[in-house]
Amino acid sequence: MKRLLLSLILAGLMQGFVHAQKIFSCENRYDADFKVYVVKNRYDADLLVYKVSNRYDVDTDGRWYFVENRYDADKKIWFAENRYDADLLIFFVENRYDAGWRNRSKMHLVF
């Protein structure tokens, strides 16, 4: 019985993590949960991001789905013009399997 309850709790937590990558891009930095800067070199990035076309293809390792309505988003971001204003440095990749964390100490930003 305890194992079943623990399994259900873990499944619920994992489902929340899997869908934690629906992103809304804010126009105002103060409305955002965190600020990102797009770097030009993948080796400078904290997170390699792949934009998915289906909201069900998201995951915690950098597969983001951009929503058009802020209320559909799990996280709101603002794109900084300067890397020193950003909380997270990202690089957009063209292959979904290249997406992932390079600096796991910043994972707390997206959860």
Domain ranges within the chain, ordered by starting residue: 2-109
Residues 34, 87 contacting (CB under 8 angstroms):
yes
- Residue 88's nearest CA partner among 111, 71, 68 is 111
**What number is the average pLDDT over the span 17-24?**
69
**What number is the average pLDDT over the span 10-38?**
76
% residues pLDDT > 90 (the chain): 72
- Give the phi and the psi of residue 96 in degrees, each rounded to 5: -60, -25
User: Pairing mode, if any, of strands 100-101 and 47-51?
Assistant: antiparallel
Reported residue count of the chain is 111
Kindly tell me if the per-residue pLDDT of 60 is higher than 80.
Answer: no
**pLDDT band, very low/low/confident/very high, at 81 (cuts 50, 70, 90):** very high
Indicate whether this model's pTM tops 0.75: yes
**What number is the average pLDDT over the span 72-82?**
96
At position 64, the amino acid (one-letter code) is W
